[in-house]
Amino acid sequence: MKKSFTKLTVAFATLVALLFVGVMSNNHNNVSHAESRAQFSRVYRVAKSKLGSPYVYGAAGANAFDCSGFTSYIYRNSLGVNLPRTAQQQFHSTRRVARRHLRKGDLVFIGSSRRNIYHVGMFIGRGKMIDAQNRGVIRERVHAPWWHVVAYGRVA
């Protein structure tokens, strides 16, 4: 009887330790998620301030933008992150993210293929992005009929 009680106590202690480690791991993940939210808030604040700015091919701010000039501008002026100049170069400089792992602040790459990226916007949640296009800087659906989403990328 004493042996089985000892085994049961050891098993229970092991279970408690595993649960504790799991809870601590989850708390750690929540902390990093909150940091991501804070960073997104900073980037989105800059992006939102440019709503309505006109589209001008090759423009990178502060009063007019093309798509990659816009994403470069908002990351540089909010987090100090320098993104390459073109949508294709930004595609190559970001880490690929699956659609199911998409987070606010990730970049949405649009084109005919991974070798032909011609547009980029920033995901803002609820199926929408903010981007600079022929109607200027606007919020719009990511999966609009006129876009062919090729990939998503996370800015390091």
- For this structure, is 92 an active site residue? no
Euclidean distance between CA atoms 7 and 146, whole angstroms: 64
Q: Which of 28, 66, 101, 119 is catalytic?
A: 119
What is the identity of the amino acid at 61? G
- For this structure, is 101 an active site residue? no
Q: Which of 33, 66, 106, 131 is catalytic?
A: 131
Residue where the block lists tokens 């949508």: 87
| Edge-first strand listing for the sheet containing 95-97 | 95-97, 149-154, 107-113, 116-125, 128-133, 136-141
- For this structure, is 67 an active site residue? yes
Q: Which of 33, 67, 92, 148 is catalytic?
A: 67
Token representation of residue 46: 């800059």
Known catalytic residues are 67, 119, 131
